[in-house]
């Protein structure tokens, strides 16, 4: 069965930033979709400038993995959209939050913390280290690889301790960062992956980046035939309890 992927892109930089427009002429979502070339997938795009931000409950009901990139319009995303994404993750949908999506409303709702960090952008080199080489997300990835230019993200990254810390980043300026993390939320999984500043061709020039995203999509995807009920329900006794002061309703 094909993996159903929705790629959400804020869509601001490629329209209004000349550098981003040159780096991603067809939009960042188009570059991210190339991670799945040759895979059995169904890909849908959603952009924040579309009606309802391109997302509905029906779309997310039929999404196994939601990939989210956003940066400058976090506060403009309607709260009901963020809550809808949160609810879908709790019901089993996978979420991959990329780069500045650390500050997006859905990610912050799922983390329950500020998700703040240290950052600067001088075009420095980043070295990404694989911390858990046996993990499915980093299969086919060498012990480390380098990005010629990337925005620096540094600690402290104000998130709950990850359930799985997969990758760590070192920057030329001396900063370090938890660059690839997994959390379990309800029936779903969330993967945060740090690289991907909008003025660098990170999603076009580095096959390892796309491979990690592809691996992560398979890892966090909504389990097949999952019957996830996140509502409180009244449950009849499995066995009748004889020796109690029974309350009959």
Q: Could you tell me the residue ranges of all domains in the chain?
A: 3-113+180-220
CA separation for the pair 117, 106 (Å, rounded): 17
Q: Give the end-to-end CA distance of the chain in Å, rounded to a whole number.
A: 46
SS (H, E, C) the chain: CCEEEEEEECCCHHHHCHHHHHHCCCCHHHHHHHHHCCCCEEEEEEECCCHHHHCCHHHHHCCCEEEEECCCCHHHCCHHHHHHHHHHHHCCCEEEEEHHHHHCHHHHHHHCCCCCCEEEEEEEEEEEEECCCCCHHHCCCCCEEEEEEEEEEECCCCCCCCCEEEEEEEECCCCEEEEEEEEEECCEEEEEECCCCCCCCHHHHCHHHHHHHHHHHHHHCCCCCCCCCCCCCCCCCCCCCCCCCCCCC
Closest among 39, 51, 55 to 1, alpha carbons compared = 39
Tens place of pLDDT per residue across the chain (249 aa): 899 999 999 888 888 889 998 999 998 999 999 999 999 999 999 998 988 899 999 999 999 999 999 999 899 999 999 999 999 999 999 999 999 999 999 999 999 999 999 999 999 999 999 999 999 999 999 999 999 999 999 999 999 999 999 999 999 999 999 999 999 999 999 999 999 999 999 999 999 999 999 999 999 999 888 887 778 878 787 887 777 766 666
Q: Cβ(13)–Cβ(50) under 8 Å? A: no
Dihedral angle over CA of 16, 20, 26, 32, nearest 10: -130
What is the CATH code for 3-113+180-220?
Answer: 3.40.50.880
Q: Cβ(188)–Cβ(222) under 8 Å? A: yes
Closest among 69, 40, 39, 41 to 54, alpha carbons compared = 69
pLDDT at 247: 67
pLDDT at 245: 67
CA separation for the pair 201, 31 (Å, rounded): 9
Q: Is residue 156 reached through a cis peptide bond, with omega within 30 degrees of 0 on the bond before it?
A: yes
pLDDT at 249: 62
CA separation for the pair 1, 109 (Å, rounded): 31
pLDDT at 160: 98
State the pTM of this model: 0.94
Q: What are phi and psi of 149, to 5 degrees?
A: -140, 135
The two tokens of residue 126 are 């980043």
């Amino acid at each position: 069965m094909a993996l159903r992927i929705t790629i959400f892109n804020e869509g601001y930089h490629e329209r209004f930033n000349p550098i981003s427009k040159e780096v991603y002429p067809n939009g960042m979502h188009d570059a991210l979709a190339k991670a799945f070339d040759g895979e059995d997938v169904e890909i849908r795009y959603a952009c924040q400038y579309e009606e309802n931000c391109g997302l509905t409950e029906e779309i997310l009901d039929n999404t196994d993995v939601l990939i989210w990139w956003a940066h400058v319009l976090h506060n403009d995303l309607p709260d009901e959209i963020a809550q809808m994404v949160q609810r879908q993750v709790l019901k089993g949908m996978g979420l991959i939050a990329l780069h500045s999506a650390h500050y997006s409303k859905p990610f912050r709702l799922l983390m329950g913390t500020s998700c703040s960090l240290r950052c600067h952008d001088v075009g420095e080199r980043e070295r990404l280290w694989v911390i858990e080489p046996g993990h499915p997300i980093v299969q086919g990835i060498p012990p480390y690889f380098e990005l010629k230019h990337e925005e620096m993200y540094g600690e402290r990254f104000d998130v709950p301790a990850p359930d799985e810390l997969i990758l760590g980043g070192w920057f030329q300026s001396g900063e370090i960062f938890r660059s690839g993390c997994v959390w379990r939320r309800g029936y779903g999984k969330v993967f945060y992956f740090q690289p991907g500043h909008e003025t660098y061709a990170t999603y076009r020039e580095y096959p390892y980046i796309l491979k990690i995203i592809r691996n992560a999509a398979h890892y966090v995807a909504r389990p097949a035939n999952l019957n996830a009920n996140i509502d409180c329900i009244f449950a009849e006794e499995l066995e009748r309890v004889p020796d109690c002061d029974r309350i009959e309703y």
